[in-house]
């Protein structure tokens, strides 16, 4: 079954992705790929940060990169509402952590080490945060389009009275 607002029927049984939705998929996936590339490249800079029953910051960076890559591929292959929601969560939470850890020292949170770095001059930090925020915005826009399309579809044709 086609997802209203995302897929359009081209022939019986065949569907194609609407151009705007395809563009949002590509933009979101690209933003998540930038996020993943920066985190993979910079993970080694944080080797040994943490420890003592904590996750290492390098491990957190690698996990973030892996999750971002998986979601980037999913957005390209299966752009469904749940995938768009995951993209919003992954990109948005990463951007939020980057911003929060720059301005607020939360200290250690359970097994998560203190992520406080009160600067934007670290390699890739501004690029990654910008890509994450952009990816969250494009994914939220795509999710909104899909959900609005579903609401229009459920409402049916408007009567002209």
For residue 153, what pLDDT is reported? 74
Please say if the pLDDT value at position 161 is more than 60. Answer: no
Domain enclosing residue 139, as ranges: 17-148
Q: Has residue 153 been placed in a domain?
A: no
Q: Has residue 79 been placed in a domain?
A: yes
Over residues 53-82, mean pLDDT: 93
Q: Has residue 134 been placed in a domain?
A: yes
Q: Structure tokens of 33?
A: 């790929």
End-to-end CA distance of the chain: 31
Quote the percentage of the chain above a pLDDT of 70.
82
For residue 1, what pLDDT is reported? 46
* Bigger pLDDT: 97 vs 48: 97
- Could you give the number of structural domains in the chain? 1
DSSP letters along the chain, please? ---TTTEEEEETTEEEE-HHHHHHHHHHHHHHHHHHHHHHHHGGGGTTSS-SSS--HHHHHHHHHHHHHHHHHHHHH---HHHHHHHHHHHHHHHHHHHHHHH-----BTTBPP-----S-STTHHHHHHHHHHHHHHHHHHHHHHHHHHHHHHH-SPP--
Q: Has residue 76 been placed in a domain?
A: yes
Q: What does pTM read for this prediction? A: 0.83
Q: Has residue 70 been placed in a domain?
A: yes
Q: Has residue 5 been placed in a domain?
A: no
Q: Has residue 12 been placed in a domain?
A: no
For residue 158, what pLDDT is reported? 62
Of the pLDDT bands very low, low, confident and very high (cuts 50, 70, 90), residue 155 is: confident
Name every residue whose Cβ is closer than 8 Å to that of residue 14 and which is 6 or more positions away in sequence. Answer: none
Q: Has residue 9 been placed in a domain?
A: no
In tens, the pLDDT along 83-126 reads 999 999 999 999 999 999 999 999 998 888 899 999 999 989 99
């Amino acid at each position: 079954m086609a997802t209203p607002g995302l897929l359009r029927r081209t022939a019986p049984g065949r569907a194609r992705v609407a151009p705007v939705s395809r563009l949002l998929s590509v933009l979101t996936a690209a933003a998540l790929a930038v996020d993943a590339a920066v985190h993979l490249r910079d993970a080694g800079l944080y080797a040994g940060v943490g420890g003592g029953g904590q996750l290492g910051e390098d491990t957190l960076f690698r996990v973030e990169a892996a999750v971002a890559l998986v979601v980037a591929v999913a957005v390209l292959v299966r752009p469904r509402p749940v995938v768009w929601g995951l993209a919003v969560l992954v990109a948005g939470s990463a951007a939020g952590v980057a911003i929060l850890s720059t301005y607020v020292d939360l200290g250690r949170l359970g097994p998560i080490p203190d992520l406080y770095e009160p600067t934007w001059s670290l390699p890739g930090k501004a690029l990654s945060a910008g890509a994450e925020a952009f990816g969250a915005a494009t994914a939220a826009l795509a999710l909104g389009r899909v959900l609005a399309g579903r609401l229009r579809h459920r409402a049916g044709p408007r009567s002209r009275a």
